Amino acid sequence: MIGGLFIYNHKGEVLISRVYRDDIGRNAVDAFRVNVIHARQQVRSPVTNIARTSFFHVKRSNIWLAAVTKQNVNAAMVFEFLYKMCDVMTAYFGKISEENIKNNFVLIYELLDEILDFGYPQNSETGALKTFITQQGIKSQTKEEQSQITSQVTGQIGWRREGIKYRRNELFLDVLESVNLLMSPQGQVLSAHVSGRVVMKSYLSGMPECKFGMNDKIVIEKQGKGTADETGKSGKQSIAIDDCTFHQCVRLSKFDSERSISFIPPDGEFELMRYCGGGMNRYRTTKDIILPFRVIPLVREVGRTKLEVKVVIKSNFKPSLLAQKIEVRIPTPLNTSGVQVICMKGKAKYKASENAIVWKIKRMAGMKESQISAEIELLPTNDKKKWARPPISMNFEVPFAPSGLKVRYLKVFEPKLNYSDHDVIKWVRYIGRSGIYETRC
């Protein structure tokens, strides 16, 4: 199990050091600083073994978090714990920075004492922690309050406390997807996949039982067996979801047997599920992903001192929808001396410091196309190495889910309180963003 946990600033000074096991000494703190933080080379692995001691580290801005052990621990668990630790700290005091850590070091020690016992992670849900780690000293809790806290921390629904009340029961669902694409210069899709998240923000009273439904092919086909015509209609729009993971509030065995997603949500914001698509060519061909934009590059070398670049982008979705925050980044060689750009839409600029032409368009409707052309002057060099031609990358945001996922319903039941599913105000929003969206040129 985890033997100790250290937090360092960018210089390698220790900000927090908590040792859980006898086999970890103070010298471990220094070993990590010397061998990893101060190492001359770039870090080649997130796990380092120094003198039979293993160090796991993650970095948040310029803060290093390192977990140390001498045993054969569950490595995946250690990293999951370090991320969780970051989440908890962020939930308590915001950004993880040297200043914030120093300002809250007593709190951090208190948290570390609670969420890691003898190196074994314990309940680390912020919802639960915030009920009793408050930095206010001991509050005069009643006996009922105390047992409520302990039963929540150890209980089956450790992520939600009882007795939450809202005047207005409301929930927000965000379907957030990022589309990743790698395309050859000829327009052949080399790889395309979507990674998506369903984020829920709930302000619901009591212990609401929720049921979430989407256009999952398997579910719809099962339901459609009775009514044949409905299968024809909705079957087309359904998508196959095979590779998804859920927040721990979701009853997994129920999903496995019935494919229904039921849960009691934590209060406030949380990530209900995460899914991928497209990369799994066995389950879904890449055709099923709507690629919102197509980039057509044309690069011509005119002699040794000039490049001509022409890039066309085409939007590929319903004309009624609008894409936003479009940005195309065209890399230029290191020996570029000057650039002239002409674009039909938006603004384009050569940024010498970034070695790229950046073309920005505020909005663009579906089924349109636009074009940029540039002349790049090059300084003659005797560098033998050819320019590696990094891919053209693109950023955008579209108001739909490129995987085709649709929310069908989210039902809320709270039998003990007097509000019903109809009284809950529900909001659904779809946002498709570019992940790594690249076209080779």
Partner 1 sequence: MTDSKYFTTTKKGEIFELKAELNSDKKEKKKEAVKKVIASMTVGKDVSALFPDVVNCMQTDNLELKKLVYLYLMNYAKSQPDMAIMAVNTFVKDCEDPNPLIRALAVRTMGCIRVDKITEYLCEPLRKCLKDEDPYVRKTAAVCVAKLHDINAQLVEDQGFLDTLKDLISDSNPMVVANAVAALSEIAESHPSSNLLDLNPQSINKLLTALNECTEWGQIFILDCLANYMPKDDREAQSICERVTPRLSHANSAVVLSAVKVLMKFMEMLSKDLDYYGTLLKKLAPPLVTLLSAEPELQYVALRNINLIVQKRPEILKHEMKVFFVKYNDPIYVKLEKLDIMIRLASQANIAQVLAELKEYATEVDVDFVRKAVRAIGRCAIKVEQSAERCVSTLLDLIQTKVNYVVQEAIVVIKDIFRKYPNKYESVIATLCENLDSLDEPEARAAMIWIVGEYAERIDNADELLESFLEGFHDESTQDSDNPDLRDRGYIYWRLLSTDPVAAKEVVLAEKPLISEETDLIEPTLLDELICYIGTLASVYHKPPSAFVEGSRGVVHKSLPPRTGSSESAESPDAAPPGVQAGEQPAVIPAQGDLLGDLLNLDLGPPVSGPPIATSAVQMGAVDLLGGGLDSLIGGGGFTPVPSTTMPTNLGAPLGSGLGDLFDLTGGVGALPGSYVAPKAVWLPAMKAKGLEISGTFARQVGSISMELVLTNKALQVMSDFAIQFNRNSFGLAPAAPLQVHAPLAPNQSVEISLPLNTVGSVMKMDPLNNLQVAVKNNIDVFYFSTLYPLHILFVEDGKMERQMFLATWKDIPNENEAQFQIKDCSLNADAISSKLQGSNIFTIAKRNVEGQDMLYQSLKLTNGIWVLAELRIQPSNPSFTLSLKCRAPEVSQYIYQAYETILKN
Kindly identify the residues of this chain, within the stretch 334-373, that bind partner 1 according to CB under 8 A: none
* Minimum distance, C-beta of residue 399 to partner 1, in the bound complex (Å): 23
DSSP 371-438: EEEEEEEE------SPP--PPEEEEEEESS-TT---EEEEEEE-TTSS--GGGSEEEEEEEEEEEEEE
Q: Would you count residue 274 as binding partner 1 (CB under 8 A)? A: yes
* Minimum distance, C-beta of residue 20 to partner 1, in the bound complex (Å): 8
Q: Would you count residue 106 as binding partner 1 (CB under 8 A)? A: yes
188 DSSP assignment: -
Candidates 79, 166, 172, 203: give the one binding partner 1 (CB under 8 A). Answer: 79
* Minimum distance, C-beta of residue 212 to partner 1, in the bound complex (Å): 14
Is 410:211 a contact under the CB 8 Å cutoff? yes
Q: Residue 399 CB: number of other CB atoms within 10 A?
A: 14
Q: Would you count residue 276 as binding partner 1 (CB under 8 A)? A: yes
Is 235:221 a contact under the CB 8 Å cutoff? yes
The smaller minimum CB distance to partner 1, of residues 190 and 428, is found at: 190
* Minimum distance, C-beta of residue 45 to partner 1, in the bound complex (Å): 5
Q: How far is CA 70 from the centre of its chain?
A: 31
Q: Would you count residue 244 as binding partner 1 (CB under 8 A)? A: yes
Candidates 35, 90, 123, 371: give the one binding partner 1 (CB under 8 A). Answer: 123
The smaller minimum CB distance to partner 1, of residues 129 and 343, is found at: 129
Candidates 31, 91, 280, 358: give the one binding partner 1 (CB under 8 A). Answer: 280
The smaller minimum CB distance to partner 1, of residues 15 and 164, is found at: 15
Q: Would you count residue 186 as binding partner 1 (CB under 8 A)? A: no
For the record, the structure tokens of 74 come out as 């569950």
11 DSSP assignment: T
* Minimum distance, C-beta of residue 209 to partner 1, in the bound complex (Å): 16
* Minimum distance, C-beta of residue 179 to partner 1, in the bound complex (Å): 13
* Minimum distance, C-beta of residue 183 to partner 1, in the bound complex (Å): 13
What residues have CB less than 8 Å from 78, skipping those under 6 apart? 2, 56, 67, 69
* Minimum distance, C-beta of residue 138 to partner 1, in the bound complex (Å): 4
DSSP 306-367: EEEEEEEEEE-S-TT-EEEEEEEEEE--TTEEEEEEEESSSEEEEEGGGTEEEEEEEEEETT
Candidates 39, 47, 342, 344: give the one binding partner 1 (CB under 8 A). Answer: 47
Amino acid residing at 375: E
State how far the alpha carbon of 59 is from the alpha carbons of 47, 56, 63, 415, in Å: 13, 10, 6, 45
Q: Give dist(CA 209, CA 261) in Å, integer.
A: 11
What residues have CB less than 8 Å from 218, skipping those under 6 apart? 240, 259
- Of residues 3 through 42, those in contact with partner 1 by CB under 8 A are 13-17, 19-23, 26, 29, 42
Q: How many residues at the interface with partner 1, by CB under 8 A?
A: 109
Q: Would you count residue 156 as binding partner 1 (CB under 8 A)? A: yes
The smaller minimum CB distance to partner 1, of residues 109 and 409, is found at: 109
Q: Give the orientation angle of helix 228-235 with respect to helix 217-224, to 10 degrees.
A: 160
The stretch among 138-146, 229-237, 288-296, 373-381 that binds partner 1 (CB under 8 A) is: 138-146
Candidates 185, 268, 390, 399: give the one binding partner 1 (CB under 8 A). Answer: 390
Q: Would you count residue 104 as binding partner 1 (CB under 8 A)? A: yes
Which one, of 358, 352, 368, lies nearest residue 392 by Cα?
358
Candidates 87, 91, 185, 191: give the one binding partner 1 (CB under 8 A). Answer: 191
Q: Give dist(CA 285, CA 2) in Å, integer.
A: 42
